[in-house]
Structure 1
């Protein structure tokens, strides 16, 4: 009887443990100055495209969705605690003012580097990590981003267009992954097979752990491509060789996180060439990577 009572008490206790509610994303968006959307893995993701910048590379004016898309991803960790990760696109004069605001308020800067070569003006990419209350984190991020020209107000919603001057069926078939049109750019996200963790916590695709490949049409069957391959150490040079053999520039190899598992390296690339040729080159690189299928 005592055993039954004890078991009953344990079950009752488990049933009365309060479930943690999601943070107030509306209040978070208000503090940040920009709204986001729910993504897979319980992530609330906010896009912050640098539409204020006019960046050209090899004569191509880059659309924000191609290579100028700052983003922040908030993930609830329980008991009202949130982890936020992000990638901030900054001009060189903006880097240290933004960094100072962040580190003064408890944020970590996990990487600072280029993604592109020869772009005018040059852009830098600051990867960040923060923990705490979602609204407080958003307030700090707002103050930091005000040190840059990053647009922080919501723009009127527009109807997304699926039309783009690219043979997307060819791209999908060649890469064996389907993309979507965003801001005049065809974007493909490809997860790795492993579960990615940082400091022991899961890092879903929406927090930057998936391979990103972007195509911007440049006319006459050509496209500019950029993005990043997410690689373990043994994959770095096989992928690098596959890209170079296909005439695709490798523009950076570096980390984005500090305590990731497995240890990851991010390889950025650039080319402006025939779409079919580029898709084949990208596929040859993808064949060297442990990808999630199905």
Structure 2
């Protein structure tokens, strides 16, 4: 894996930068996971979805950044073929799961704003668990075809992957055999899965925005929009980077540009999600403060006992 070896003078600086980003991602998403897990009144569909999104963010960055940090620190950039295929599988699995989880979150906000009287029935624990299970099931199955076809390609020339992890585009660039079948599968699955997820999310927000605009008071509109603004920001960030990165012919692949967009895709969402979902969320902040107070009070109470 080439990583960022084309800028050897920046290796230590990049290591410190990515280490800091990785620690921020772990800390922010672990806080979300622990606060939601430890507060029963947050066990509602919106927060359960957010908890699973945090798990995906932690897992996706842990699949890539530790190996990148190792390369930057030691300059040992070898990876086995099995390790490369495993990293590719986990990356696509978590990415697909995230898309469908965000679609489920959009549906949850649609029901909450457009059909609030039936929210409890339509977003029961059973339905919520079903949506989460479906998102991870689709994510688990989606990479099988990609990894199977890519693993059967011939790599008879250079074995240097011009990227910082095993992604689809640089592996196809590296192959000396025809990649038509892989690209065809990629665009078919993209049309069936990615586009449908995007379309369902878009339709949900069309109905949401339409319902918000019908609210008479500006305070009511602001309150309704605030419940879905965080999710909308996350969706725009994710789909924007993916459109720029993957929905184009492989011949237009550019090393420097696509490395940059890959960094945005892998790092930006997991860094911003804890901020955009919790910064203005009073309910979450209240639960976080209670958890901190309980943690700080327990040792004092034990001392008194």
TM-score, scaled to structure 1: 0.26
TM-score, scaled to structure 2: 0.25
Structure having the higher strand fraction is 1
Larger RCO (CA under 8 A, 6+ residues apart): 2
